[in-house]
């Protein structure tokens, strides 16, 4: 236990757990989970403010600061939503609100340790959100459609912060994005529509990894008749446009000559 009192800079004013940040954050995550009701795992206890003040007294031992608290609490709220069956929209809303504070922190620090923690946490959150949004026609129905707005907001917030973090590879890959919210939303819509149309066509060209169990709901299939009908329609449209272009140009020139 003597190592637990070792200071990072040799002073005796602040003592950090010698095990390093991975262990520290895990211990702090467990402490934050005490803010939830044991009888209702998706609800926060009434005494949350008092408990949070007691938890903050461990910052000096665990090496936690306000920035680490914000990102860790965001993860705890998000993880609690996932672990409790994804039924409480308030947890998603609270996690999204906490990410607002994280976004402010990112603009004030360039600490590499914090950047690594930030990247790992937000990449996991963004990956979870995009797994559902890139094929939202499969993910959402009349029962859980109310969660879609919160998940979109959470995913966009995580993407924005990752772009702001200049030390992260994510920013270098997407450095040309001028509007993250618009870009991500457009990607979600295009991807989900593409997946839905592929499933309606029989699922043969559906995106890898996307569930195809809804394909059976569509009775229509791509048959020889459908292909021939599309070809005939395309040829007919081409002939019509050609006829309009040629005859219209001929009539227009004749009218000019009459003047």
Q: What is the pLDDT of residue 124?
A: 92
Rounded-to-integer distance, Cα 79 and Cα 69, Å = 15
Instruction: Give ∠ CA 245-232-203 in degrees, rounded to 5.
Output: 125
Q: Residue 206 has which token pair?
A: 């559906």
Q: Residue 143 has which token pair?
A: 């029962």
Q: What is the pLDDT of residue 244?
A: 65
DSSP labels, 208-232 = TTS--GGGGG------HHHHHHHHH
What is the separation of C-alpha 99 from the centre of its chain, rounded to a whole number of angstroms?
Answer: 12
In this predicted structure, the answer to whether residue 147 has a pLDDT above a threshold of 80 is: yes
pLDDT digits (tens, 9 = 90+) for 73-124: 999 999 999 998 888 889 999 999 999 999 999 888 888 888 888 988 999 9
Closest CA to 47 of 33, 37, 59: 37
In this predicted structure, the answer to whether residue 176 has a pLDDT above a threshold of 60 is: no
């Amino acid at each position: 236990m003597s190592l637990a009192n070792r200071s990072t800079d040799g002073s005796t004013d602040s003592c950090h757990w010698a095990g390093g940040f991975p262990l520290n954050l895990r211990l702090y995550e467990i402490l934050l989970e005490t803010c939830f009701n044991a009888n209702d795992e998706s609800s926060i206890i009434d005494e949350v403010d008092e408990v949070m003040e007691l938890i903050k007294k461990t910052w000096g031992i665990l090496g936690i600061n306000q920035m680490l608290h914000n990102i860790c609490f965001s993860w705890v709220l998000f993880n609690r939503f996932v672990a409790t069956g994804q039924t409480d929209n308030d947890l998603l809303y609270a996690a999204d609100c906490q990410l607002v504070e994280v976004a402010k922190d990112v603009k004030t620090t360039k600490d590499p340790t914090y950047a690594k923690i930030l990247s790992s946490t937000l990449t996991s959150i963004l990956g979870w959100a995009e797994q559902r949004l890139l094929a939202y026609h499969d993910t959402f129905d009349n029962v859980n459609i109310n969660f879609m707005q919160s998940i979109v907001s959470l995913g966009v917030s995580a993407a924005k912060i990752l772009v702001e973090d200049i030390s992260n590879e994510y920013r270098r890959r997407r450095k040309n994005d001028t509007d993250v919210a618009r870009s991500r939303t457009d990607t979600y819509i295009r991807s989900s529509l593409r997946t839905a149309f592929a499933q309606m066509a029989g699922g043969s060209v559906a995106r890898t990894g996307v569930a195809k169990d809804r394909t059976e709901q569509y009775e229509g299939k791509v048959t020889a008749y459908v292909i021939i009908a599309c070809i005939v329609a395309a040829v007919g449209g081409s002939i019509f446009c050609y006829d309009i272009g040629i005859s219209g140009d001929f009539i227009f020139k004749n009218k000019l000559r009459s003047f």
